[in-house]
Structure 1
Amino acid sequence: MRLILILFLLFTSLFASKEVLLLHSYHKGYKWSDDISSEIEKRFKNEKDIDLTTIYMDTKHVASPLYLNKLAQLYKEQFSTRDFDIIIASDNNAFEFAIRYHEYLFKDLPVLFCGINNFDRAFLGENNMKNYMSGVVEQVDLEKNFELISKIHPNLEKLLIINDKSKTGLAVKRDLRPVIEKYSQKFKIEYVDNLDIDNLKKKVINLDKTKSALLFVLLFKDKTGKFFTYKQSFKKVREVSQVPIYGLWDFYLDYGMVGGLLTSAKAQGEAVANMTIQVLNGKDVKTIPIIEKSPNRYIFDYKELDRFDINIDKILEDYEVINEPHGFFRKYTKLVVVTLIIIAILLIMVFSMKANIQRRMRVEKDLQNRIKFDKVLLDTLPNPIYYKNKDGKFLGCNKAFSELLNIPKKDVVGKTAKDFFAADIAARNETVDRKLLHSLGTDTSEVTLHLADNQMRHIIIKKAVYLNNDSSIGGIVCIMDDITERIQQKQFLIQQGKLAEMGDMVAAIAHQWNEPLVELSAQVQDIQTSFILNELKDSQVQEFVNDSMVQIKYMSQTLSDFRNFLKPSTKKVFFSIKQSFEEIFEIIGKQIFYSNINMRVNYNYKEDDLIIFGYENEFKQVLLNLINNAKNKIIDKNTNDKYNLTINVEESEKYNIIEIIDDGGNIDSNIIDKIFEPYFTTKKRGTGFGLYMAKVIIEDKMKGHITAQNRDKNVVFTIKLPKKEAKNENSTIRR
């Protein structure tokens, strides 16, 4: 049961949806955040069963400790009914928030980050997050951008750097200091992060358009506290600028920025999405290395390159250009593509029509061959087969079916089950067909047919619904399996098993008769003595007759029990387990007693008696076989020790259970799995039928289970018989 539960939990866990929380530092509409979300959603779209929830912290507008604490309380309430598998933290504020409130909000959950500036691996260790975190670092390459600007503009005299005082802006400012110090020897560098937008525009307007350039970092809030979207602030600067503008992030492209070595939000999103899928597929987050080299790319806007007459080919070999003009084909791409598609479609239609005609000709020929083959195949099969439409009329059959019913195949078509089978079988046939046509399933049943030549055949019928090409119901196919010989063979084997037990039975009868014969002998001698001495009285004669009849009836009953045991059961009946044991003990009880075996029967159930449903004599054969096996094993030990044979009879919710336990020594573990196989025996003169037929009777004929096991120093045979069998049949109980 535990194994089934574990497999069930494993199965459900494999197919359950994975819950992913994407926690953005900023707000929806911020290009950087939107691009990260877009790439993550695109990557997850190709995966099944991933549910993505996106939350925006809006820390571009407010990021006070009080606000973050209230956010944590809100999320605690919001996520109380959610069961996330992994957290994605986008940018520094979300990263630090996930670390600070990991125990409170995301206890034991793995966290992947992206877009992190000034990343310090030691920070994870200090906050005990090494085992829970990995991700992608956002590392703007300031020095390479400075190098690029100096190469593009070798006569540059001034570089104006525009930034703000956001968390990201301050992180970039720290990284700028050594770079500014290095390049300030080549040209003048002015860093601005404390002007309002109007003064900033004036400063840009005053730049020398031939000897100046501008590096636009970030501007989401100016000195006055006024907020801007990423487009608004850049456009205000771009509309007054007469000098080329370079940047660090790709979301300013296509708004008037020349370009640079840009940090890509899409690359960040793609990388963290791939890491997320690895974790959801079972990989431990701590084994996924942190990508500390940001996936940056050289990207430029052709319009701005052309505006300032900049040639990148002389400086870089590997770069991308957007908004590059194209020739006629690209200028009229839609028209060309539509035209080519139309031509291709027409060509495909022509060729497909030609191929379809040829294919249909081949299919028709193949179909004719297949019909002939199927006809031969059906007639070759030994199983009777017929098929009929959904109205119950026969459409055809194979040779075996026509021979079974002794009817020509052509006479089967158009008939119904009522024309071939008895009324009760035909009615049951129609009921099964209606259920199958409704459920579109299969059915297996067993019937006994009385044929015209007075033969009785036991048949297993297997039915299934077949569909037409348009998925409508065509009808039902039926395959019949004649199991008459198999049933007869099993019955023969059962009788053989009984005969194999006859030696022990005869010995048991000899024990049973020994005492009454001694008693009769003594009474005869007593009568003879009285007669010789002329002391014989009428009362003595009557007493002799009465006592003799008691012994004779006892011996006669023993023979009757023996005869009943040999007689095969023809049908299932209700009978008492207790009575079955008592009848067995009448035959072999004394033999067990004289074998120095202490036998004890425990009836552990609430009712007065425990009734089972099955083949009574065959069931008693199983009990006799198991008890005799235990007795013979103990006798073979040839010791004077006292051995025990314990029989427990009890019931559970679904089964009536019988345990036969002896302490005569364990079965060899190498053969215990083979003892129920036919012809397997460890006795010199054994047949190998006994336990095999016990398994056939209990499992095949009575739908139960029989097992053997070693328990400590005991051997335990367990028989389980289902209760439901007794509830589904109507029969009298033999007591």
Structure 2
Amino acid sequence: MKKTILFLLLFLNFLYAQNKEVLLIHSYHKGYKWTDDISKAIEKNFEPYDNIELTTFYMDTKRVAGENYFYKLANLYKEKIANRKFDLVIVSDNNAFDFLVKYHDFLFPTSPVLFCGINNFNKSILDENFVTHYMSGVVEQVDLEKNFELILNLQPHLQKLIIINDKSKTGMAMKKDLEPIMKRYKNRLKIEYIDDLDIKNIQNEITKLDSNSAILLVLLFKDKTGKYFTYRQSVKEIRKVAKVPLYGLWDFYLDYGIVGGLLTSAKAQGDAVSKMALRVLNGEKVYDIPVLEKSPNKYLFDYNELNRFDLDVSEILKDYTIINEPHTFIRKYTKLVIITVTIIAVLLIMVFSMKANIQRRKIVEKDLQNRIKFDKVLLDTLPNPIYYKNKDGKFLGCNKAFCELLSVPKKEVIGKTAKDFFDPAVAKKNKQVDEELLKTHGTNTSEVTLHLPNNHMRHIIINKAVYLDNDGSIGGIVCIMDDITERIQQKQFLIQQGKLAEMGDMVAAIAHQWNEPLVELSAQVQDIQTSFLLNELKDIQVKEFVNDSMVQIKYMSKTLSDFRNFLKPSTSKKLFAIRKAFEDIFEIIGKQIFYSNINLHFNYEYDKEELLIYGYENEFKQVLLNLINNAKNKVLEKNSSKKYNITINISSCNTYTTIEIIDDAGNINENIIDKIFEPYFTTKKDGTGFGLYMAKVIIEDKMNGIINVKNKDKHVIFTIKLPHNKRLANENNAS
């Protein structure tokens, strides 16, 4: 009980330990079954522990060996592990063991070492090389004596035994162990030892054997010519010509042609050394773990080979394992029952799962139907027209608002395209937008004017987005329409209100404009009357009077025409000259500014050609009039004899035309300068708060420009930036 508790404590302590670095060095190469089986056993025992990191090196000494090679390999390993420290080193087979004994201090001066698969082990090797303190492990001990006894027990009439070996390091060690045993059995049977023939000569010797013979395969990885064989190839080359039983000493030959024997197991070696490794990694000193000198060998046999030569091991052995043995009737029946029960259980689980799934689907379908009904009511309740269509542009559905907009029933919408409801220009633009959306998977917002069947015109903002099907593919496009007709009309109404708000200043401006013509007409009428009373009136005087009067009357009529044009709203955008717009404004308010004791400076810094801007001409004039009147009124509020200035600067670059309207009548209060463009904000008792707000609406919303204001020194600067040609204006609008 105490040992169990101690083991559990050690196990828990190990489980929560810090990460451990373990290096496994194999004598041979990856793909060599003995080596691979050792690795698999070690990896299997290490698998439950996440804190063990296993690194594996292969020395490949089946193909290359020698002191010079080992020296270079040691230096290579030194470079590879320069920045690593290993908590444990494991070596498999003699070459790796001898390598570590020699280069331990050079490579791993403080790391403990465990070995496995070592033939002819002698503890004195550890003492002589001063590594006893660092090393322990598992010995590989081939029990030749028991294998000889097994062969003779299975074949009592055996007369000749051929032993096949190679001259590898392990092979030479085995030869050394075989020599005394062969001497003991030489009087009982004829023994022929072969280690210096090529494969063809070996096969020739095997073909000469009669039924009272047997073969013991020790090792065969190279023949006399240096030809290399894998473990499978060597067994198969021998078995295909052998008419007698073929025995072996290692488990990696099993299942490839040997009868079996008391086999040295690579898996057992790996299992034993990995259990030692866990003890070391858990804190136990390697020198406290004794070397396991009794090799964990097992009696293993191949049923097919036993049956081939009619050999029965049950009479001579109790503890053994047979591979490839067919199942007995009871085992077959038991397996069939297990399979049948398993299948029935799986089918029952599938039935119950399907039943539960059907119930869930019914619930989901009901919820889905309720959701579809809810979505339909929701869509029909929304005031915005909505429709959705597939990738080919055919309408799949819509809401009530869309049907009311087009004055068509819903059933006539399904399956139709935009061409069936919109005019060709709108339908063409609609198709172009859809094609782009299907490529980019994005969204799009655009503005169109629809001419409906009831002869009404509606301004619509169209918002589109791509929707995806359940499999992630594009299903089509959803469109939500926003009718902004009333908003546009309301903005236009507000603009007209802003114009009417300027009526007082406009009438005053007209009064100034008419003052001189009226005085002139009055003087001419009095002059003509005096000439008539004195009988001095001549025909030429009458003609001059008429001509001069018509000049004044035409001037007054033009003033009224300019006033009427100003009040008339612009119906569409167009290109117009900015200089002409200012000249029209100056015709209306120029004299009023002059009589207000204000100097007006107009700086037009573009002499190459007329600067054109794209927008609503009359609304733009309204903005200019508002800004100039505001500057004029600021001057009049000063009630000073000082002469003030209004400066207008016009300049242009590649992108924008810039207009600055500057007055020197004092700064705007910094507390309100950010609010002056807000609707209904005014500092005047009789002000409406519409002027600057509508100026911002006209410039930024209707003409895609920018308007702002700032104080600089004693001046107030209003800046307007507008696209100066139609192409740039369209680009800004699209963005």
Same fold (TM over 0.5): yes
Q: Which amino acid aligns with 2:690?
A: F
Q: Which residue of 2 aligns with 1:229?
A: 107
Alpha-carbon deviation of 1:523?
A: 1.2
Q: Which residue of 2 aligns with 1:244?
A: 133
Contact 2:611/2:724 (<8 A) preserved: no
Q: Which residue of 1 aligns with 2:184?
A: none
> For the residues of structure 1 that align with 2:527 and 2:104, how far apart are their CA atoms?
132
Compared with structure 1, are the counterparts of its residues 305 and 674 closer, same or farther at alpha carbon in structure 2 (3 Å cutoff)? same
> For the residues of structure 2 that align with 1:707 and 1:456, how far apart are their CA atoms?
34
Contact 1:655/1:723 (<8 A) preserved: yes
Do structure 1's residue 460 and structure 2's residue 440 form an aligned pair? Answer: no
Compared with structure 1, are the counterparts of its residues 389 and 593 closer, same or farther at alpha carbon in structure 2 (3 Å cutoff)? same
Compared with structure 1, are the counterparts of its residues 239 and 353 closer, same or farther at alpha carbon in structure 2 (3 Å cutoff)? farther
Query: Helix, strand or coil: the match of 1:599?
Result: strand
Matches within 5 A, 1:176-187: none
Query: Helix, strand or coil: the match of 1:534?
Result: coil
Compared with structure 1, are the counterparts of its residues 521 and 672 closer, same or farther at alpha carbon in structure 2 (3 Å cutoff)? same
What is the RMSD computed on CA atoms of the aligned residues? Answer: 4.1
Matches within 5 A, 1:316-465: 356-465=357-466
Alpha-carbon deviation of 1:643?
A: 1.0
Alpha-carbon deviation of 1:547?
A: 1.4
Q: Which residue of 1 aligns with 2:704?
A: 703
Query: Helix, strand or coil: the match of 1:678?
Result: coil
> For the residues of structure 1 that align with 2:588 and 2:473, how far apart are their CA atoms?
64
Alpha-carbon deviation of 1:505?
A: 0.4
Matches within 5 A, 1:154-303: 228-230=106-108, 240-241=129-130, 243-245=132-134, 300-301=280-281
Alpha-carbon deviation of 1:370?
A: 0.8
> For the residues of structure 1 that align with 2:712 and 2:580, how far apart are their CA atoms?
28
Q: Which amino acid aligns with 1:370?
A: R
Q: Which residue of 1 aligns with 2:592?
A: 591
Contact 1:219/1:234 (<8 A) preserved: no
Q: Which residue of 2 aligns with 1:546?
A: 547
Q: Which residue of 1 aligns with 2:285?
A: 305
Normalised to the residue count of structure 1, the TM-score between the two structures is: 0.55
> For the residues of structure 1 that align with 2:397 and 2:459, how far apart are their CA atoms?
22
Q: Which amino acid aligns with 1:623?
A: L
Matches within 5 A, 1:633-644: 633-644=634-645
Compared with structure 1, are the counterparts of its residues 681 and 303 closer, same or farther at alpha carbon in structure 2 (3 Å cutoff)? closer
Q: Which residue of 2 aligns with 1:483?
A: 484
> For the residues of structure 1 that align with 2:284 and 2:581, how far apart are their CA atoms?
102
TM-superposition CA deviations, 1:624-674 (whole Å, max 9, x none): 000000100110111111111111100122111101011111111111111
Q: Which residue of 2 aligns with 1:533?
A: 534
Q: Which residue of 2 aligns with 1:497?
A: 498
> For the residues of structure 2 that align with 1:433 and 1:426, how far apart are their CA atoms?
11
Q: Which residue of 2 aligns with 1:675?
A: 676
> For the residues of structure 1 that align with 2:137 and 2:421, how far apart are their CA atoms?
84
Q: Which residue of 1 aligns with 2:14?
A: none
Q: Which residue of 1 aligns with 2:717?
A: 716
Compared with structure 1, are the counterparts of its residues 517 and 606 closer, same or farther at alpha carbon in structure 2 (3 Å cutoff)? closer
Q: Which amino acid aligns with 1:533?
A: L
Contact 2:655/2:728 (<8 A) preserved: no
Percent identity at matched positions? 69
Q: Which amino acid aligns with 1:240?
A: N
> For the residues of structure 2 that align with 1:584 and 1:237, how far apart are their CA atoms?
113
TM-superposition CA deviations, 1:279-328 (whole Å, max 9, x none): xxxxxxxxxxxxxxxxxxxx954696375269xxxxxxxxxxxxxxxxxx
Report how many aligned residue pairs link the two structures.
Answer: 448
Query: Helix, strand or coil: the match of 1:670?
Result: coil
Contact 2:387/2:479 (<8 A) preserved: yes
TM-superposition CA deviations, 1:193-240 (whole Å, max 9, x none): xxxxx9xx99xxxxxxxxxxxxxxx987xxxxxxx3337998697883
TM-superposition CA deviations, 1:98-145 (whole Å, max 9, x none): xxxxxxxxxxxxxxxx99xxxxxxxxxxxxxxxxxxxxxxxxxxxxxx
Q: Which residue of 1 aligns with 2:523?
A: 522
Q: Which amino acid aligns with 1:230?
A: F
Q: Which residue of 2 aligns with 1:555?
A: 556
Alpha-carbon deviation of 1:538?
A: 1.9
> For the residues of structure 1 that align with 2:483 and 2:377, how far apart are their CA atoms?
21
Q: Which amino acid aligns with 1:465?
A: V
Compared with structure 1, are the counterparts of its residues 308 and 722 closer, same or farther at alpha carbon in structure 2 (3 Å cutoff)? same
Contact 1:253/1:300 (<8 A) preserved: no
Q: Which amino acid aligns with 1:372?
A: K
Structure 1: gaps (5+ residues): 1-28, 32-38, 43-59, 62-89, 92-113, 116-197, 203-217, 221-227, 246-251, 256-298, 311-341, 731-735
Alpha-carbon deviation of 1:467?
A: 1.3
> For the residues of structure 2 that align with 1:238 and 1:498, how far apart are their CA atoms?
113
Contact 2:660/2:720 (<8 A) preserved: yes
> For the residues of structure 2 that align with 1:301 and 1:403, how far apart are their CA atoms?
82
Alpha-carbon deviation of 1:596?
A: 1.2
Q: Which residue of 2 aligns with 1:656?
A: 657
Compared with structure 1, are the counterparts of its residues 303 and 425 closer, same or farther at alpha carbon in structure 2 (3 Å cutoff)? closer
Normalised to the residue count of structure 2, the TM-score between the two structures is: 0.55
Q: Which amino acid aligns with 1:705?
A: I
Compared with structure 1, are the counterparts of its residues 663 and 30 closer, same or farther at alpha carbon in structure 2 (3 Å cutoff)? farther
Query: Helix, strand or coil: the match of 1:707?
Result: strand
Query: Helix, strand or coil: the match of 2:672?
Result: coil
Contact 1:30/1:229 (<8 A) preserved: no
